[in-house]
């Protein structure tokens, strides 16, 4: 029996801070739950400035302290991602605006979701802010939010896999 994998894409501005961290955290959660056969996870950036580069060294260092290895290479989001991925998670309203502006229909638009909507442990957080121009505290804060959101997202996806409810 062939398993129909859920395909998840995480998107931020340059694909070197938030989205590769979300990709790495989500892969770690999936692996820890022995659910690798059920998911495919990737990340992309809106801009092409960092294509081919590893994630920002500061985000890699923050991740390593928590046991993550963020080693994906940056790529730019393309319109074909709408056809390939089931869900596209963005980090802030500007990401949402830029990605949804590329949609061609309502089905594509419905795939674009705010990752911060899955945050439960941090009150009143609506976005995962870009830490790029910040310091180590900003990177750790972004990673705290990403971990929280990805944990809750995984629960929502697993619940969805067992029912017909939308995530």
Please state the domain extents for the chain: 6-160
Task: Pick the more confident residue, 3 or 115.
Answer: 115
Task: Pick the more confident residue, 1 or 127.
Answer: 127
Active site annotation includes 130? yes
Active site annotation includes 17? no
Residue 164 scores a pLDDT above 90? no
Catalytic residue, from 12, 17, 62, 150: name it.
12
Rg (C-alpha) for the chain, rounded Å, is 15
Q: How many CB atoms lie within 10 A of CB 1?
A: 3
Catalytic residue, from 17, 18, 42, 62: name it.
18
pLDDT at 44: 99
**Reading across the β-sheet that carries 87-90, which strands appear in turn?**
39-45, 6-12, 87-90, 112-114
Q: Which residues pair with 45 in a beta bridge?
A: 12, 76
Residue 48 scores a pLDDT above 90? yes
Structure tokens given for 83: 């056809």
Rounded to an integer, the average pLDDT of 93-100 is 99
Rounded to an integer, the average pLDDT of 18-38 is 98
Share of the chain above pLDDT 90, in %: 92
Residue 7 scores a pLDDT above 80? yes
Structure tokens given for 68: 């993550």
Alpha helices in the chain (DSSP H): 18-32, 57-65, 80-84, 93-100, 106-111, 136-161
Determine phi and psi for 114, rounding to 5 degrees.
-85, 120
Catalytic residue, from 62, 130, 148, 150: name it.
130
What is the separation, in whole angstroms, between the first and last Cα of the chain?
25
pLDDT-derived band at 154, boundaries 50, 70, 90: very high
Rounded to an integer, the average pLDDT of 86-107 is 98
pLDDT at 2: 60
The CATH class given to the 6-160 domain equals alpha beta
Q: Which residues pair with 89 in a beta bridge?
A: 10, 113
Rounded to an integer, the average pLDDT of 82-98 is 99
Q: How many CB atoms lie within 10 A of CB 65?
A: 11
Rounded to an integer, the average pLDDT of 39-65 is 98
Residue 1 scores a pLDDT above 60? no
pLDDT-derived band at 21, boundaries 50, 70, 90: very high
Q: Answer whether 101's CB lies under 8 Å from 109's CB.
A: no
pLDDT at 160: 79
Q: How many CB atoms lie within 10 A of CB 137?
A: 10
pLDDT at 46: 98
């Amino acid at each position: 029996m062939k398993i129909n994998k859920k395909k998840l894409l995480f998107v931020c501005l340059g694909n070197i801070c938030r989205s590769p961290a979300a990709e790495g955290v989500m892969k770690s959660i999936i692996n820890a739950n022995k659910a690798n056969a059920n998911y495919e996870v990737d990340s992309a950036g809106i801009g092409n400035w960092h294509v081919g580069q590893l994630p920002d060294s500061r985000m890699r260092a923050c991740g390593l302290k928590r046991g993550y290895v963020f080693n994906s290479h940056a790529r730019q989001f393309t319109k074909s991602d709408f056809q390939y991925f089931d869900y596209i998670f963005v980090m802030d309203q500007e990401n949402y605006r830029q990605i949804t502006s590329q949609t061609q229909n309502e089905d594509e638009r419905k795939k674009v979701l705010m990752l911060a909507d899955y945050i439960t442990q941090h009150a009143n957080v609506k976005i995962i802010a870009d830490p790029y121009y910040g310091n180590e505290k900003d990177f750790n804060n972004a990673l705290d939010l990403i971990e929280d959101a990805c944990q809750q997202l995984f629960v929502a996806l697993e619940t969805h896999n067992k029912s017909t409810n939308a995530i």
